[in-house]
Amino acid sequence: MNKEEMNLTNSQLLRVKAEAKLKVNQNRQKTPPIETDVKKLLHELQVHQIELEMQNEELMLAYQTAEAALKNFTMLFDLAPIGYFILDCDCSICELNFTGADMLEERRFSLLNSNFRLFIAEASKPVFNNFFNNVYTTTVKESCELTLGYDNKTLHSVYMEGIVTGDDLKCLLSVVDITKFKLL
């Protein structure tokens, strides 16, 4: 140890040795000057910014596509000329369209979670129960013809088709009013 090293504290000595080692390493690696590092970082940041802008454009396009699909779905489901219902396995109404609500002569949102069986005329309940059991025991589309009604009030003669969806076991039900055809 030379005299100069003896006058330095441990932390100062450590710093001097570290700086010397860094200088040797930089000379060995021939690292580019700091200005080149800054330019390289700036370039990377600019590239990343452009990537983010491109991703944002893709997200906006995906959003517009999703909005268009939602509009089409709304027209197809909500405004269809036949009644659409989505029922749970216990026959609770999960979803329905406006035509379905009109057939039941109730407001759409007041029907959610109601039991669909309440709107089947007494004389048609065995037909509906058989139909609904078949829908859940087979993997094919089932159909039936019955009368909607409640409190001894007949609403409509209808033709129904139903099928159960895959994983969530919901019954997709289409209901067509055939009252006018029955009168002929």
Residue 28 has pLDDT above 90, yes or no: no
Q: Which CATH class is domain 81-183?
A: alpha beta
SS3 content of the chain, % helix, strand, coil (to 5): 55, 20, 20
Domain boundaries, the chain: 3-74, 81-183
Residue 16 has pLDDT above 90, yes or no: no
| CA pair distance 102, 91, nearest whole angstrom | 19
Q: Could you report the per-residue pLDDT of 64-118, keeping only the tens digit for each?
A: 999 999 999 988 898 899 999 999 999 999 999 999 999 999 999 999 999 999 9
Mode of pairing for the β-strands spanning 153-164 and 142-150: antiparallel
| CA pair distance 111, 83, nearest whole angstrom | 13
The whole-model pTM stands at: 0.67
